[in-house]
Amino acid sequence: MTLPQAAKRLGLHPAKLRRRLKVGVFPVPSFVNKHGLNFFDEDWIRETRAIIEKSFEGEMLKRKENGGLPVRVEQAHIRG
């Protein structure tokens, strides 16, 4: 799938996905063609989704889904 399609699947704006790829937050694309276009497969989507879920942004999404309430202690990821 293309970058805009992958961004939509992840719930990100395409520009945010490009920035995170550029700085190395997300894994390299599954395939880059000779014109420099990035393509992504289902494994890449799964791996990237796991990164997002463990991030601050993922924690905020959990709060939003929970009506703005903090995530229960046993669900929270404890950072050391």
pLDDT score recorded for residue 51: 94
State the pLDDT confidence band at 1, using cuts at 50, 70 and 90.
Answer: very high
**Mind listing the pLDDT tens digit for each residue in 21-80?**
999 999 999 999 999 999 999 999 999 999 998 887 766 666 666 666 655 544 545 544
Q: Per-domain residue ranges for the chain?
A: 3-65
Sheet strands (E) in the chain: 31-32, 38-39
* Number of alpha carbons in the 13 Å side-chain half-sphere of residue 15: 0
Rounded CA separation 55/37 (Å): 26
> pLDDT value at position 55?
82
The mean pLDDT of 1-5, rounded to a whole number, is: 97
Question: Helix (H, G, I), strand (E, B), or coil: what is residue 1?
Answer: coil
pLDDT band of 15, cuts 50, 70, 90: very high
Burial class of 72 by CB neighbour count within 10 A (0 to 12, 13 to 18, 19+)? exposed
